[in-house]
Structure 1
Amino acid sequence: MDRRWHPVLGAIAAVAALILGAQFEYTRTLEARVLALLAPVAAVAAAGVAVVDCERRWIAATVPVLVAAAVVAVWTIGVTVTPRHPIASVDVARAGGDRDIDAPPDGRPFDVQVHAGLERRSGSARGTFTLELRRAGAVRALRGAVERAVRRGRRVRRFGPMTSMFLHETERFRTSLPGNGPARVRVVAADGAVLPTLHVAILPPPWGESAVPLALGVVAVLGLVVDVAARRSRVHVHAFPPVAFAAVFAFELARDLNVDDPLPSVLGVGLLAGLAAAAAWAIAAVAGALVRSERPAAVGSASDAGALAPAARTDRRDPSG
C-alpha cells in the first residue's frame, strides 16, 4: 500500500478507537483521558511513517514539526484532564445559601467550579442554578445548567435493552474580582432536580494557558509551510493534516471537556478535529498546486530566452557572408 495513505488510515483508526471505547462503561473516566492523549499522537505517528521513504531533507524538515505538534498537544491535553487542586471550596445550601470563600486578590483571573448534583433517581433529570460572587462592591453572576440523560435502546438478543447515559453536573466559569480577602458566594436560584447543597471550588488557571493558542498556531503554520514546500517539489509528506488535527483537538478539548463524563467530549472534539484535518489536506493541496503552477512558467521563459539567443548570434554573422 502507498505510504501516502498512512495518515488517512491513521486518522480513521484513531476515530474508530474512540468510537470503540464508547461501548465500554469503564472508558468513560480514566480510559477516556488516555484516549484523548493518544488520539493526536496516533495521527502524528501515522504521518511520520509516511515520510520514511522521502529524501533526508524532507525527513529532517517534517519530523521536528510533527514531534513539536505532538508535544504541545499532549501537554495541553494533559493539563486539561489532570484535576487541579482547589484554592478553596465550600458547600452552599440551595435555599439562599451564603458563604465566604477565599479567592485570588487584585483582579487575578481564576476558575469557579460548581458541582450541582442531581437527585439519584432513575431516568433523566435536569436543573439550573444561579450564583453570585461578591467582593469589594463587584458582583459576578454565574448561571449554569446540569443534566443527566438516560437513553434506552432496543433489546438485543440474549441481552437486556441497551442503555446509555450522559452526565453533566459540573460547570466551570472564568472570572476575576477586585480587592483582597475572601469573597461572598450566594445561591440566587436553583431549580429542577438539583440537590439541596451545591459544592463551589476556586481553581487556579491552568499553567501556561495563555501560551497554548500561540504554540498551536505556530506549529500549524510550520506544518503548512513544510507541506506546501514538499508539494512544490512533487513530494507528499502530508505534514499539515495531522498537525491541524492535533492542534484543533487539543485546543477544543481544553475548552469543552466535560469533567463528569469526558468520553462524549473526546468523541465530539475528535470528529471536529477530523474535519479540520480534511480541510487542512484540501488547503495544502490547493496551495501546492498553485505553487507548482508557477514553476513551469519560469522554466518556460528561461528556455524561450535560450532559444532566441542562437538566432540573434546567427543574424550577426549573416552580413559577413
Structure 2
Amino acid sequence: MKKRKNPNSQELGLRIANIFGRYLLKTAHLHYGFWPDNLPVTLANLPKAQELYAEFLRNNIPEGVSSILDVGCGTGHNAELLLASGYQVDCVSPSPYLSSITRGKLQGRGKLYECTFEELPPGRKYDCLLFSESFQYIDLDTVFLRMPEFLNPGGCVIISDFFRIPGEGSSAMGGGHRLSRFREKLATSPFRLLREKDITENTAPNLQLVDEALQQVAVPLRDLVIGELSSRHRWFWLPAKWIGRLFFRRKLEKLHYKYFSGSRNAENFREHKRYCLFLLQRKPAEA
C-alpha cells in the first residue's frame, strides 16, 4: 500500500477556502466573482458574483461547441453547470482533494484526469479547452505546445485569468504570466485571437473583500496572539521574536506587506494585474 502523502500548503489552502465558502458563504466556487456596477461589493453578495462569473464564461463559448475540456476545474462547479447546459465535459484536476469533490459532481458524466495539464495523456480531442483561473499555473511554452494536441480542427481555447503588467511600486499579490510575454507567445503560436475582454474592473472588487477580511479579522487575531504571547509567555516569545528577526526578517517583512499592511487591495490589483478573457481559435493546418 502506498504511503499517504501529507497535503502541501496549497492543498491545505484549497481545503480551507472550500470549507469556508461552502459553510459560511454557501458557495461552491473557488474563483473570483464578476461584479457588475449594480451589485454592491459585500461578502454576502460574493456567491451571486461568482455565479455571474460562471455565466460570463458560458456566454463566451462559441456556437457549435459541444465538447469541453475544463483544465484546472476546481471543485467541478463550472463543469456541473456546463453539463446542465448540454455540453459534454471532461475535467483536469491535479488536486486530490478537489478531484474527490469534482468526481461526486460529475457522477460518471465525464472523465476526470487527476493530473496536471503537462501530464495529460494525448488521445481525446475537444471543441473547446477552458482555462478558468488555471492558465497562470502552466508554463507558457508548454501550454502553447500542448493545446493543439487536444483540439478538433477549428477548435477554440477560452482563457479567463489575470496577468501581470508593469506598475508603480510592488505588487502585494503574486501569480499570473506577464501579459506582454503571453502576447508574444500567442503571435508565434498556431492560434488566432478571436475575442479579448478586459474585466479587471469587474474582478478587482474581490480584493476589496480580501482587504476587509484581512484588516478586520486577520490583523486583530494576529495582534491578539502576539499580545497574549508577549505578556504571558515572555520566556518563549522574546527568544522566538529574536530568532525570527535574525533568520527570517525578509520573509516576515514580505508576509507583513502581503497580508497585514493593507496593500492587498483592489487599487494594488488594478495597478499590477489585468484580468482578461481571451478566445483563441486553432488556425487551419497548412496544406
Shorter-chain TM-score above 0.5: no
Higher Rg of the two aligned structures: 1
TM-score using structure 1 length: 0.22
- Higher normalized contact order (CA 8 Å, seq sep 6+, divided by chain length): 1
Higher helix fraction (1 or 2):
1
